[in-house]
A and B are shown apart, each in its own frame.
Chain A
Amino acid sequence: MAVDTKERPSAPQQTDASAEQEGRFQSYRIRTGMFAWMMHRLTGVGLVVYLIVHIWGLTALTDPETFNALIAKYHSPIFKVGEFALLVAVAYHAMNGLRLVLIDFLGWSPKQKKLFWTLGGVTAVIIAVGGWPSIYALGEWLLGPGSMPTLFL
């Protein structure tokens, strides 16, 4: 008997279980590239949130009293922590952004892991040097005045 091969069996009905298999979040092994991307997304979203708060803070510019009160708040330890986190986010996002530019524009895809670690080193130096004033201020607050070495300050 001839078999009609033109007729394909119908695709299986979409079920809840296959829907569970699909979705934005999958359990998958994280390697260098995906780690770099996740951090890039995280710092990117963080910077957007920061920018909104920062611009909102500028509304205080219209009144000298409110402005002084706001600036006084910025000297509190919690803002020193925030300042440091901001530097980390900016430094990472900028350096990984450079990595992506080199990959996409110059075709440096084969060097992507080396690039990640090299630029990661540069990021660490930027954070250490640029973040020192924040660390210094926090140390002074936590351990008492004069307890921190006055390197470069």
Chain B
Amino acid sequence: MAEMQLNIEIKRYNPEDDDGPHWESYEVPADPLDSALSLLLHVKWHIDGTLSLRKSCAHGICGSDAMQINGENKLACSVLVQDLVDGDGDTITYAPLPSAPVVKDLIIDQSRFFEKYREVKPWLITDGPAPEREREQSPEEHAMIEDATKCIMCGACTHACPSTWADPDYLGPAAMLKAYRYTFDSRDDGAEERLDVVDSPDGLWKCYTIFNCNEACPKDIDITRWLSALKRRAATSQASTKA
């Protein structure tokens, strides 16, 4: 027997039938150690099969099930019921990630998010020919970028950012974190190319250090810290090239 009954409120929207999004409530049995995702799956499997959501691994690796839970962006599989409610009869709200087009229910159209990702050239750029063996990196060099490599591209940060809400073209924390990850990689030579992209009106300078990205990140990446480092790099490299 489940320990408690919770009230689940889900922002539903089917563009083919509905005029606009609306909230629907469900009664769901839950244990404190259930994930927020498992409650949604209970709704889908036992109450209303038309509920649509994205999920794959359900273990915080694939990054499919980022959504707004109790007013904050979270990865549904990585947050526990005990951290969302005080007890029996409490409510948990689920909505799609803010400021993205909704495909259906909790599923957003991610195309814009991934366009921004591609804009920062998230791949290794090198001068000269490939070495015979793998490209080596010391533990110290890797420590510079280790935190940033933990990103699973779930989109919780970018859609938590007020700068993204106000400017849909703003590159956003996820893409610029990726720019940091390659710019500060000791094996990469593409810093200038990438800085050209992020040192722009829709880039770094619209980061107002609001910290919603840090709060939203399911991997606890200190995104703001790395964007600050990228800002310093952009400011100093601009001074050196344009002087």
Q: What's the tally of chain A residues with a CB closer than 8 Å to chain B?
A: 33
Complex CA gap A125/B123 in Å reads 50
Contact A109 B165, CB 8 Å, known A12-B103, A26-B99: no
Known: A12-B15, A15-B15, A26-B99. A112 touches B165 (CB 8 A): no
In this complex, the member of A11, A17, A40, A107 whose beta carbon has the largest number of chain B beta carbons within 10 angstroms is A17
**B15 touches which one: A18, A29, A33, A112 (CB < 8 A)?**
A18
Chain B residue nearest in CB terms to A18: B101
Query: Which residues of B144-176 are within 8 A (CB) of A?
Result: 160, 162, 165-166, 168
* A145 at the B interface (CB under 8 A): no
Distance (Å) between the CB of A112 and the closest chain B CB?
6
- Interface hits, A62-104 → B, CB 8 Å: 100, 103-104
Cα(A33)–Cα(B217), bound, Å: 14
In contact, A31 and B215 (Cβ under 8 angstroms):
yes
B70 and A112 within 8 A (CB): no
How far is the CB of A13 from the nearest CB of chain B, in Å?
A: 7
Query: Nearest Cβ distance between residue B107 and chain A, in whole angstroms?
Result: 10
Number of chain B interface residues as a range: 35 or more
Tell me, yes or no, whether A50 is within 8 Å of chain B by CB. Answer: no
Chain A residues with CB below 8 A from B99, complex form: 21-23, 26
- CB distance A13 to B212 under 8 Å? no
Q: Which residues of chain B from 161 to 207 have any CB-CB distance to chain A below 8 Å in the complex?
A: 162, 165-166, 168
Partner of A11, one of B18, B109, B225, B231: B109
Is there contact, CB below 8 Å, between A109 and B222?
Answer: yes
**Residues of B with C-beta under 8 A to A11:** 101, 109, 111
Q: A12-B101, A26-B98, A31-B215 are in contact. List 16 more A-B contacts (CB 8 A).
A: A11-B109, A15-B15, A17-B20, A18-B15, A18-B109, A21-B98, A22-B100, A24-B162, A27-B71, A27-B98, A28-B68, A28-B160, A33-B210, A34-B210, A37-B208, A112-B211
